[in-house]
Amino acid sequence: MDALADSPAPEPANPPAASVPAPPRFVSEYPSYQVSRRGFLSWLAVGWGAFAASGAAAGGAFNRFLMPNLPLYNPPMVLKVGWPDAFEKDKVDERQKPNGFWLRRGFDKATGRTGIYALSTTCTHLGCTPNYLSAEQKFKCPCHGSGFYETGINFEGPAPRPLERYRITLADDGQVMVDKGRKFQQEKGEWMDSEAFLAI
């Protein structure tokens, strides 16, 4: 009997015409699109979370993609340049200039030793490539006029320190081998290192 008492009042037999709901005009008014606030917010969080996560993953992937596992397109750093007797005594050899170094065989005034050394073609001022002037027996940079002796010691112009020397050794087959990955600087006293000079 209580259940009956709780049941809603019976509807009027003839409801007024005004109570018939108008057909939905917008998508948002369709019943199937009615979403609770909690449901909407949680789906919003899931959606933006997934979007942010995939965006971060893609950004990380792009950054990683741009860092190759080894330097691509770079010329070799270690070169065999020929047998020691291929170099004329007391003369600067310009054949390896395109590869970034001069070679000179003979007595080296800077270290007091006799042999071969490899001199970098990069000016120590701002990185231009000097020219070898055989008549004046010096390297002269065309950019700002820095001058270097055949040893690589700077003596004129703005260059603050001597040209660098590269590691030079004999390969297994007896050829002279230059490694541009290891450089020796005079002002640090490195020119006396055993591999900065090939005694012959």
Partner 1 sequence: MAKTPLDEIRSSQVWRSIFRHGYPDTERNRTLAALSNIFLHLHPVRVRKSGLGVRYTWCMGGLTFFLFLVETITGILLMFYYRPTGDAAYNDIAALRDHVPLGVMRELHRWGAHAMVVSVWLHMFRVFLTGSYKPPREFNWCVGVILLVLTLLLSFTGYLLPWDQLAIWAITVGSNMARATPFLGHEGPGASALSVHGLPLIHSSDDARFGLLAGPLVGEGALLRFYVLHCILIPFVASILMAVHFWRVRKDGGISGPM
Q: What is the binding site for partner 1 (CB under 8 A)?
A: 26-27, 30, 61-62, 64-70, 72
Q: How far is the CB of 35 from partner 1 (least distance, A)?
A: 14
Contact 89, 105 (CB under 8 A): yes
Compare residues 22 and 72 and give the one whose CB is closer to partner 1: 72
Q: What is the DSSP string of 61-103?
A: HHHHHTS-SS--SPPPSEEEEE-GGGS-BTEEE-TTGGGTEEE
Q: How far is the CB of 33 from partner 1 (least distance, A)?
A: 9
Compare residues 17 and 70 and give the one whose CB is closer to partner 1: 70
CA dihedral in degrees (122, 127, 128, 131; nearest 10)? -30
Q: Give, in degrees to the nearest 5, the angle at Cα 83 between 80 and 87.
A: 105
Q: How far is the CB of 46 from partner 1 (least distance, A)?
A: 19
Q: How far is the CB of 50 from partner 1 (least distance, A)?
A: 16
Compare residues 9 and 22 and give the one whose CB is closer to partner 1: 22
Measured CA to CA, the distance from residue 109 to residue 132 in angstroms comes to 18
